[in-house]
Chain A
Amino acid sequence: MDNFVALKDVHFSHGQRTIYDGLSLTVPKGKIVAVMGPSGIGKTTLLRLIGGQLRPASGSIKVADEEVTQLSRKKLYELRKRMSMLFQSGALFTDMSVFDNVAFPLREHTELSEDVIRSIVLMKLEAVGLRGARDLMPSELSGGMARRAALARAIALDPDLIMYDEPFAGQDPISMGVIVKLIRSLNESLGLTSIVVSHDVDEILSIADYAYIIADKKVVAEGTPDELRDNDKAIVRQFLQGEADGPVKFHYTEDDFAMDLMGEAHG
């Protein structure tokens, strides 16, 4: 199977803290791949590594058969025109209307006339159900609308790959349902490859073709949603069923509680 993204034995540290210690995963072309894991294990970092915003200490990251870690700045920027990222906050430009936000990548990277740009922007906004909100400013949008407007901007240049960073975080059930459907339908209608980083297990497993669970600095489980649901590994069970304690500790590493209290009392 053709892989659009392939990470092999990636090591990455942030200061003294090791984030990835030999991470490997692949994303097949045309599929939706979910990346799940507890908070703070570097899921967003993974997307930034794929996008070339961060460089690993070692290992290989290939996107569309290009080794991202070796690319010059110019070639990296060329490659980024084929990929898009939906940020957790939406990251809409606050000084531009919804229309101008979606038109932005087209104006930056193409020589299209304003008439053609208008048609494309309206088509993209129609796809996310926001054609009527084209003149609103980002501050006038709800969280769900901002996420959808950002999605329209992300597909403006018809990319091959979209990376979603926690697309369901902080959404009400209706917005969440709309975004879940949008990710699936855009992937099918535009022939995209999608990587969705999330810890909303039910939503993401309902649309993913394949999923990875990352914990302890590497991939601890992978498979189709059904395979993961049948997986007996303790960490997979804990994550999918949302149990407080298990291989992943609820408490941040600390000394014994009683000793700590005594120490405070006497200190």
Chain B
Amino acid sequence: MDRLARLGATVTDAIAGIGRALAMLLGAIIGKPTPRKSWPLFVQQMYVVGVLSLIIIVVSGLFIGMVLGLQGYTILVDYGAEQSLGPMVALSLLRELGPVVTALLFAGRAGSALTAEIGLMKATEQLSSLEMMAVDPLRRVVAPRFWAGFVSMPLLALIFSAVGIYGGYLVGSGWLGVDEGAFWSVMQSAVDWRDDLMNGIIKSLVFAFVVTWIALYKGYRCEPTSAGISKATTSTVVTASLAILGLDFILTALMFGG
């Protein structure tokens, strides 16, 4: 009976948590737009969340593209199909690896930073002082970070895929001798703008929404102590990573499942 009660309490807590997270998000993004104040904050957060994530995204994209080129070539060459290396690299990146790996890297770099920053603002009473100064912390702190995450992640995913394709080209064409014209032209004819590129962007938008939301909520609700912030930061990375992988399967099934 106790076990049943505990299970019930866990489920109720989880539902209450989703409700609180939703209330936080709606409080942040719904309201009268104030572009004069919000735009500079958004631009600043785009730099912190997006631009500062560029290095890890570009370097990871390049290496993953190079590995794809190498692995793809060694498999395709056995069937005499090395001309298909271009579409293999491009489709892998645009459909899956671009959105998923970018989201995972984003959760680790920007998501954890967002949680820690907001958690520390809470612990040092900066959020409370905003409230006492009649400034809504949801609109001032949470909203610009949410929009910056939501906008920057799909852009980062596109950059990741573009750099990855170039990495595949460097290895496939520059090193392993796949014909350069074939690499690009077969890729061009095989990649569909709507089915591949748009679906990848949609995935990325969903991941951006979920990862940024989780990161902000974990920071906003964390226990305002050093242990609490540490726990919240870890929880952001774990929860966001699992959410990305779970959602990726659902989205892939919906988009390409039949």
**Interface residue ranges, A against B (CB under 8 Å):** 48, 51, 53, 77-78, 80-81, 83-85, 87-89, 91-94, 104-105, 108-109
Would A85 and B132 count as touching, CB distance under 8 A?
yes
Q: B133, A108: Cβ atoms under 8 Å?
A: yes
Q: How far is the CB of B37 from chain A (nearest CB, A)?
A: 8
B179 at the interface (CB under 8 A from A): no
Q: Is B5 an interface residue (CB 8 A)?
A: no
Measured CA separation A243–B131 after assembly (Å): 38
Which residues of chain A are within 8 angstroms of B37 by Cβ–Cβ distance? 108
B74 within 8 A of A: no
Which residues of the partner chain A approach B135 to less than 8 Å between Cβ atoms? 105, 108
Stretch binding the partner chain, chosen from B86-94, B120-128, B166-174, B226-234: B120-128
Number of residue pairs A-B, CB distance < 8 angstroms: 42
- Could you name 16 residue pairs across A and B whose Cβ atoms are closer than 8 Å? A51-B131, A51-B132, A53-B128, A53-B131, A80-B133, A80-B134, A81-B134, A83-B132, A84-B132, A84-B133, A85-B129, A87-B128, A87-B129, A88-B125, A94-B124, A109-B134
Q: Which residues of A contact B223 (CB under 8 A)?
A: none
Q: Which B residues lie within 8 Å of A81 (CB)?
A: 134
Does A93 contact B132, Cβ atoms closer than 8 Å?
no
Q: Which residue of A lies closest to B127 (CB)?
A: A91
B228 to chain A, nearest CB (A): 16
Q: Is B136 among interface residues, defined by CB-CB distance under 8 A?
A: yes
Residues of B within 8 A of A53 (CB): 128, 131-132
| Alpha-carbon separation in the docked complex, A127 to B256 (Å) | 67
Task: Write the chain B residue with the least CB distance to A105.
Answer: B133
> Residues of B contacting A83 with CB < 8 Å?
132
Residues of B within 8 A of A89 (CB): 124-125
Within 8 A of A (CB), among B35-53: 37
Which chain B residue shows the least CB distance to A53? B131
Q: How far is the CA of A92 from the CA of B124 in the complex (A)?
A: 8
Contacts known (A89-B125, A91-B124, A94-B124); A104 close to B133, Cβ less than 8 A: yes
* Neighbouring A residues of B131 by C-beta, 8 Å: 51, 53, 80
CB of A93, distance to nearest CB on chain B (Å): 6
- Nearest-Cβ distance from residue A135 to partner chain B, whole angstroms: 19
In the assembled complex, the Cα of A91 lies from the Cα of B120 at a distance in Å of: 11
Q: How far is the CA of A211 from the CA of B72 in the complex (A)?
A: 79
B134 and A91 contact, CB distance less than 8 A: no
Apart from A85-B132, A89-B125, A94-B124: 15 A-B pairs, beta carbons within 8 A = A51-B132, A53-B131, A53-B132, A80-B131, A80-B134, A81-B134, A84-B132, A87-B125, A87-B129, A91-B124, A91-B125, A91-B126, A93-B126, A94-B126, A104-B133
